[in-house]
Amino acid sequence: MKSLRLHGVGDLRLHEEPVPVPGDGEVLLRVTAVGICGSDLHWFEEGSIGDARLAHPLVLGHEFAAVIESGPRKGERVAVDPALPCGRCEFCETGYPNFCLATHFSGHGKDDGSLREFMAWPERALLTLPDSVSDVAGALLEPLGVALYALDLGQIRVGDAVGIFGCGPIGLMLIRLARLNGARQIVATDLLPHRLEVAAEMGADVVLQADAEGSERAAVLDATGGRGIDVAFEIAGANPAVETAIETARPGARVVLVGIPSDDRTSFSASTARRKGLTIQLCRRMAHTYPRAIALAESGQIDLDVLASHCFPLEEYQRAFAVAAARDGLKVVVEPKGR
């Protein structure tokens, strides 16, 4: 089978490897669609993410759908939870498996991911895909799950003004989710005009082009009548966007930080945040959101296919990562489709 491994910064190589043999509790999966995530780009462009460093040639990929190739469920289309918490620690037992310190995660650290034709994965982490949800949409259920978890942290109330600072795929999903959750006004910013066009289509009332100096902040406040944002989501992974969220939030607001900064540092004006008494939440992956994500996609309340702007076969991985790294389009999807 073909398997794509990252050997160093920008050094992806396609290998021919044996089809894996499932262990206890595992099944063989034929991978059908893999979304390239911002965290994959951190690995690709920096050889690291946060404090994790590339230690061996790693198969990336944690947003994926597949078909089960072994066992009683053979032939079933599934979405795959990339996180495998231990299930026994304090965090797992109290409902926070995303904080489990023993978690194995697809395409991270020592655990190979899904950018290959076949992989073995525990059956407990597989969720049936409805016929109405495509393989590509199935791969995007993972980032939708992250968006749902961020939404839960934000605690939007009906009638709130919501700020979305960063309109990549997760930011765009949050626009739609905020609208479904009763937001009165949604203000969205991004550096890229083509993302702002989609933000408006997804339901943002006001879209503003951002810059490194944060010159859009005055316009964000003007859009809210000077009152400020009730719930702010930062999804850009850049300190100017964090500062915009802090500066435009009203006193007592909630600010949810979802983006992952390249230099592993987040900074903002402490005096502003303190004076406003802001509640600042950091989003750690997701927990217990897959069933809701699947229900939203199946019901058509959120269109995931429209976010997949580019699809490439595994053999065209260089083009796929070049497009994703250039931030062209929205979500880049790789389709291994092993046979």
Residue 204: pLDDT band by 50, 70, 90 thresholds?
A: very high
- Name the least confident of 46-55, 131-140, 171-180: 46-55
Residue 287 in any domain: the answer is: no
Residue 74 in any domain: the answer is: yes
Residue 227 in any domain: the answer is: yes
Instruction: Give the whole-number percent of the chain exceeding pLDDT 70.
Output: 99
Residue 299 in any domain: the answer is: no
Residue 195 in any domain: the answer is: yes
- Name the least confident of 49-58, 141-150, 296-305: 49-58
* Residue 173 · residue 96 · CB < 8 Å: no
For residue 140, give Cα distances in angstroms to 146, 200, 201, 213, 308: 10, 20, 18, 32, 8
Q: In this predicted model, what pLDDT tens digit does every residue of 205-246 receive, in sequence order?
A: 999 999 989 999 999 999 999 999 999 999 999 999 999 999
Six-digit token pair at 214? 């944060």
Shared domain check, 104 and 79: yes
Q: In this predicted model, what pLDDT tens digit does every residue of 17-53 receive, in sequence order?
A: 999 999 999 999 999 999 999 999 999 999 999 889 9
Q: In this predicted model, what pLDDT tens digit does every residue of 290-310 receive, in sequence order?
A: 999 999 999 999 999 999 999
Shared domain check, 172 and 89: no
Residue 130 in any domain: the answer is: yes
Residue 188: pLDDT band by 50, 70, 90 thresholds?
A: very high
Shared domain check, 6 and 132: yes
Residue 339 pLDDT more than 80? no
Angle between helices 141-154 and 290-299 (to 10 degrees): 110
Cα angle value 322/325/329 (rounded, 5°): 90
Six-digit token pair at 74? 């053979």
41 CB contacts (<8 Å, ≥6 apart)? 321, 324, 325
> What's 135's domain CATH number?
3.90.180.10
Residue 159 pLDDT more than 50? yes
> What's 165's domain CATH number?
3.40.50.720
Shared domain check, 201 and 164: yes
Shared domain check, 212 and 189: yes
Full domain range(s) for residue 153: 144-282
Shared domain check, 150 and 119: no
Shared domain check, 56 and 136: yes
pLDDT of res. 67: 98
* Domain count for the chain: 2
pLDDT of res. 337: 78
Shared domain check, 278 and 150: yes
What type of residue sits at position 45? E
Shared domain check, 76 and 203: no
Six-digit token pair at 143? 């980032």
Shared domain check, 108 and 190: no
Residue 67 in any domain: the answer is: yes
